[in-house]
Amino acid sequence: MISTNPNSFLGSVAPMRRVVSLGILALVVGGACKKAPSGEASPAEKLSIQNIGSDTMVNLAQAWAEEYAKVEPNVSVEVSGGGSGVGIAALINKTADIANSSRKLEPAEEEKAKQTGHATPTEFLVGYDGLAIFVSKNNPIDHISVEELGEIYREGGKITKWSELGVTAIPGAKSDDIIRISRQNNSGTYHYFRESVVGKKSDFKQGSLDMNGSKDVVEQVAKTPGAIGYAGLGYATPQVRIVKVSKVKGGPAVVPSIATVHDKSYPISRPMFMYTPGAPAPHVKKYIDWTLSPAGQKLVELTGYVPLAK
């Protein structure tokens, strides 16, 4: 084709230059899109709240922010994760209006915040995170210890068979193997389970079925007789059984519930906090009050966490 018509060859040189410039344009636009969420300034009259911290809480914080945009259109809440430590660092550096943290502030951090912010950070308890251990409906296991869970899920952990937990026959199960259902490796639930059960610096045993959501975990456990999985309490369905958990082997086994999470007797649970540098500004205070209101607490339940005691 090219050899029969010399013009088409010459003509294609100019478009080539256009190709290059359009390519650059595409990349510039791509780069701009990527940075847009942080760089985009809200209109002057619009108040914004920087909400940084815990990855565990990031889904909840996002749900709150989205819902609050409907309640109070003039306030935009900008949520980002990174971890409780990142949130607290931002609090100390005064770059966050609210820091989300799934642990209490350490005294040293409080001291530091006082020095830079000239005030003690204010603590708000906004809910609890509690993970339930699910097995299929017909699995006869009654209770399990945190230690045993660790052995099941940890890289190098010893327990791989149900018989090692004293469970000999699960109706419908095709083998004795424990089928581990887990989460994708950047979910907050995965991080919390690793921290509280597997071990902070340890890793999960490979070969677990990594689901994309807590709901999928529960559904998969329901469909697989030999499976075990973990998810927020709020995700329980009639097709699965919740196993009682004891802190140590032989210790008292506790059923996870809003009550046992509140009285701290259930071992795989923790409080979730929001911190503000000193006393919160009025619009920030209003936002936190809203998260603590029935409407805000309803979202705590809907996102799979445990709401505050009424």
Q: Which stretch binds other proteins (CB under 8 A): 107-115, 184-192, 274-282, 288-296?
A: 184-192
- Check binding of 248 to other proteins (CB under 8 A): no
Backbone CA torsion sign across 88, 201, 209, 301: negative
Residue 194 near residue 202, CB atoms below 8 Å: yes
Nearest CB to other proteins, comparing residues 207 and 252: 207
Residue 229 near residue 134, CB atoms below 8 Å: yes
Q: Which stretch binds other proteins (CB under 8 A): 64-72, 130-138, 198-206, 284-292?
A: 198-206
What secondary structure does DSSP assign to the chain, as a single string? -TTT-HHHHHHTHHHHHHHHHHHHHHHHHHHHHHHHHHH-PPPTTSEEEEEEE-STTHHHHHHHHHHHHHH-TTEEEEEE-S-HHHHHHHHHTT--SEEEESSPPPHHHHHHHHHHHSSPPEEEEEEEEEEEEEEETT----EEEHHHHHHHHBTT-S--BGGGGT----TT-SSSB-EEEEE-TTSHHHHHHIIIII-TT--BPTT-EEESSHHHHHHHHHH-TTEEEEEEGGG--TTEEEEEEESSTTS--B---HHHHHTT-SSSEEEEEEEESSSPPHHHHHHHHHHHSHHHHHHHHHTT-BPPP-
Site string for other proteins, 29-58 (x = CB under 8 A): -x---x------------------------
- Check binding of 189 to other proteins (CB under 8 A): no
Rounded to a whole number of angstroms, the minimum distance from the CB of residue 2 to other proteins is 14
Rounded to a whole number of angstroms, the minimum distance from the CB of residue 155 to other proteins is 8
Site string for other proteins, 82-121 (x = CB under 8 A): x---------------------------------------
* Out of 15, 140, 171, 252, the residue judged to bind other proteins by CB under 8 A: 15
Between CA 257 and CA 296 the distance in angstroms is 20
Rounded to a whole number of angstroms, the minimum distance from the CB of residue 176 to other proteins is 9
Q: Which stretch binds other proteins (CB under 8 A): 126-134, 209-217, 269-277, 302-310?
A: 209-217
Nearest CB to other proteins, comparing residues 84 and 260: 84
Nearest CB to other proteins, comparing residues 225 and 271: 225
* Out of 52, 57, 81, 90, the residue judged to bind other proteins by CB under 8 A: 81
Q: Which stretch binds other proteins (CB under 8 A): 66-74, 221-229, 271-279, 284-292?
A: 221-229
Nearest CB to other proteins, comparing residues 85 and 117: 85
User: Which residues are at the interface with other proteins (CB under 8 A)?
Assistant: 11, 15, 18-19, 22-23, 26-27, 30, 34, 81-82, 173-175, 177, 179, 184-187, 190-191, 194, 200-203, 206-212, 220, 223-226
